[in-house]
Amino acid sequence: MTFSALGLSDELVRAVTERGYTEPTPVQAQAIPVVLSGGDLLAGAQTGTGKTAGFTLPILQRLTASAKPVTGKAPIRALVLIPTRELAVQVEESVRDYGKYLKLTSMTMIGGVNINPQIQRLKSRVDILVATPGRLLDHLQQKTLDLSHIEILVLDEADRMLDMGFIRDIKKILAILPRQRQNLLFSATFSDEIKNLADGLLNKPAMIEVARHNATAELITQKIYPVDRERKRELLTHLIKEYNWHQVLVFTRTKHGANKLAEQLNKDDIPALAIHGNKSQAARTRALAEFKTGKLQVLVATDIAARGIDIIELPHVVNFEMPNVSEDYVHRIGRTGRAGSEGEASSLVCIDEHKLLHDIERLTKSEIPVVQVPGFEPDPRIKAEPILNGQNRGQGGGRGQGQGRGGQGQARTRAAPRTGSGPSRTNAAGKPAARAPASHRSGGYNR
């Protein structure tokens, strides 16, 4: 199967080829023909499958094919709703990359930045608008935005948007849009809430689902490193330096914990920055840009802030703290092993987190190999302690650091793995470390 065989134009195939992609992923092979046909779509796919290209490429083609001469200001014709700022930026970058040989224009509309430049940008041509719900409603209230000509609507990471409390905002936006339009809903899970939303939004949709929910990508090598809670930072520094890890994405549960860990790593001569909801959008954008280019060795992130991190061939993801919600583990490690690349996911697990690990293995239906690093063996005298407000005692997280509205400081009922934004690569670079042999497994490790 090739992109040309899916019916994409020469301009789109050329742009995709220049990015190093030759074969569509399964979700792209199924979604692109459906979107090109003009029908509604309900799609589910595990993280890293190349979903964003699955709707971006055919939308670009449809808008180009149906373009009409416009007198005066051209209307916005496609709207993509995204739950987080970083993800919105990533998706709009994909629109520009894939549409580089077309005459269509796009724009990102997100909060956390000055609204005035966005108002000015709307005065010129915008064919495809990629927006977060809150800032979109700000523009609608200020009457700076006209959505009366929308032909295609995409709800991306719909379950994540519901999890973050956006359902009321989404309904307000839907009420404003033209009744006649193509609707595309992408979700990692099909909960009752998602089914209810789909029933009210979609008209006789095609339904596709790629890989079972909560499956972890086969190309990700997973490892568990047992360690005492007080020695996690020391072990992380050891692993990064011992194995010369570069471009390492590290997850903590709380904003405060991310800040403190980044400070500690810098003291260990490991360049690191934290990214989370309390950081300004400019700081988040700068940190992510430096991390993407390799200037920054370690990016320490909370779950929500990492939703838009989509780096092809990102080699290492580390769970400095195991997530309270098992589904978040799938999402976290899905930042690596994307779109045909290989990657390594390491988890530093202390005695407090054994139940969290057990829940994750039960969810993913797999046992994660254990690697014991000499000199970092857990002290059997240390007793498990409760994880309060998302933080293990002794790891510098502080108390009362909950982030509200789907934040990292509290248990949530639902979490959505992020799906990938690029098609499949034919050459995956960078082999991960081999799985630990059985002799390296800790016989006394309480799973």
- Tell me the DSSP string of 118-186: HHHHTTS--SEEEE-HHHHHHHHHTT----TT--EEEETTHHHHHHTT-HHHHHHHHHHS-SS-EEEEE
| Predicted local distance difference test score (pLDDT) of residue 420 | 41
Q: Compute the Cα dihedral for 294, 296, 297, 300 and give only its sign.
A: negative
| Predicted local distance difference test score (pLDDT) of residue 305 | 60
Distance CA 190, CA 44 (A): 8
b (16+ CB within 10 A) / e for 307-344 = bbbbbbbbbbbbbbbbbbbbbbbbbbbbbbbbbbbbbb
Strands 21-23 and 424-425: antiparallel
Distance CA 270, CA 196 (A): 47
| Predicted local distance difference test score (pLDDT) of residue 321 | 96
| Predicted local distance difference test score (pLDDT) of residue 426 | 37
| Predicted local distance difference test score (pLDDT) of residue 191 | 76
What stretch of H or E contains 366? Answer: none
Does residue 350 contact residue 215 with C-beta atoms inside 8 Å? no
Query: Which CA distances in Å does 200 have to 36, 71, 163, 180, 354?
Result: 22, 35, 18, 14, 42
Distance CA 272, CA 298 (A): 5
Topology of domain 220-440, CATH? Rossmann fold (3.40.50)
Give the residue extent of every domain in the chain.
Answer: 4-210, 220-440
Find the distance separating the first CA and the last CA of the chain, reported in whole Å.
Answer: 43
Does residue 68 contact residue 232 with C-beta atoms inside 8 Å? no
Domains 4-210 and 220-440 share a fold: yes
Q: Single out the residue of 328, 331, 323 nearest to residue 47, CA to CA.
A: 331
Q: Which residue has the tokens 């509205």?
A: 405
Does residue 301 contact residue 274 with C-beta atoms inside 8 Å? yes
Q: What is the mean pLDDT of each run of 10 residues along the chain (447 residues)?
A: 92 92 89 96 77 94 86 87 88 95 96 94 96 96 96 92 87 95 89 86 90 60 96 97 94 93 96 88 85 91 71 87 87 73 90 95 90 96 84 45 34 36 37 35 40
| Predicted local distance difference test score (pLDDT) of residue 341 | 66
CATH for 4-210, options being 3.30.465.10, 3.40.50.300, 3.30.210.10, 3.40.50.970: 3.40.50.300
| Predicted local distance difference test score (pLDDT) of residue 72 | 67
